[in-house]
Amino acid sequence: MKREQWGSRAGFILAAVGSAIGLGNIWRFPYMAYENGGGAFFIPYLFAMISAGIPFMIMEFSLGHKLRGAAPRAFAKMGGKLEWLGWFQVFIAAIIAVYYVAIIGWAISYLGYSFGQSWGSDTNAFFFSEYLQLGENSPSSLGSLQLHIAIPMALAWGITFAAIYTGVKGGIERASKIMMPLLFLMVIALIGRVVFLPGAMDGLNYLFQPDFSKILDAKVWSAAYGQIFFTLSVGFAIMIAYSSYLPEKSDINNNAFMTVLINCGFSITAGVLIFGVLGYMAQEQAKPLTDVVSAGVGLAFVTIPAAINLLPLPFILGPLFFLALVVAGLSSHISIIEAVTSAIIDKLNWSRKKAASVVCGTGFVVSLAFATNGGLLLLDLVDYFINNVALLSSCLIELVVIAWLFKISDVRDYVNNISEFSIGKWFEVCIRFLSPAMLAVILATNLINTFK
Residues that bind Na ion (CB under 5 A): 18, 21-22, 328, 331-332
Cβ burial 346-363 (10 Å sphere, 16+ → b, else e): bbeebebeebbbebbeeb
Interface mask toward ligand PFF for 86-125; x: CB under 6 A:
----------x-----------------------------
| Residue from 336, 355, 392, 430 binding ligand PFF (CB under 6 A) | 336
Judged by beta carbon distances under 5 to 8 A according to partner kind, the member of ligand PFF, Na ion, none in contact with residue 23 is: ligand PFF
Contact call for residue 27 and ligand PFF (CB under 6 A) = no
Q: Which residue intervals of 38-146 are DSSP H helices?
A: 42-48, 54-67, 71-77, 83-114, 123-125
Nearer to ligand PFF, 171 or 226 (CB): 226
Contact call for residue 231 and ligand PFF (CB under 6 A) = yes
Please state the φ and ψ torsions of residue 166, each to the nearest 5 degrees: -70, -30
Judged by beta carbon distances under 5 to 8 A according to partner kind, the member of Na ion, ligand PFF, none in contact with residue 259 is: none
Which one of 63-71, 226-234, 269-277, 284-292 is the stretch in contact with ligand PFF (CB under 6 A)?
Answer: 226-234
Q: Residue 65 in contact with residue 250, Cβ under 8 Å?
A: yes
Cβ burial 169-186 (10 Å sphere, 16+ → b, else e): bebbbbbbbebbeebbeb
Contact call for residue 23 and ligand PFF (CB under 6 A) = yes
Judged by beta carbon distances under 5 to 8 A according to partner kind, the member of ligand PFF, Na ion, none in contact with residue 230 is: ligand PFF
DSSP-assigned letters across all residues of 270-309: HHHHHHHHHHHHHHHTT--HHHH---HHHIIIIIHHHHHH
Instruction: Give the integer Cα–Cα distance in Å for 188 and 306.
Output: 21
Which one of 20-28, 55-63, 105-113, 309-317 is the stretch in contact with ligand PFF (CB under 6 A)?
Answer: 20-28
Q: Within a 13 Å sphere around the CA of 51, how many CA atoms are in the beta-carbon half?
A: 19
Nearer to ligand PFF, 24 or 37 (CB): 24
**Distance in Å, CB of 235 to ligand PFF, minimum:** 7
| Residue from 114, 123, 176, 233 binding ligand PFF (CB under 6 A) | 233
Q: Which residue intervals of 294-433 are DSSP H helices?
A: 296-298, 304-310, 314-348, 352-367, 375-385, 391-405, 408-418, 426-429
Which one of 19-27, 74-82, 214-222, 439-447 is the stretch in contact with ligand PFF (CB under 6 A)?
Answer: 19-27
Q: Residue 170 in contact with residue 247, Cβ under 8 Å?
A: no
Nearest alpha carbon to residue 205 among 43, 39, 30, 35: 39
| Residue from 146, 243, 244, 332 binding ligand PFF (CB under 6 A) | 332
Chain residues in the site for ligand PFF (CB under 6 A): 20, 22-25, 96, 230-231, 233, 236, 238, 332, 336
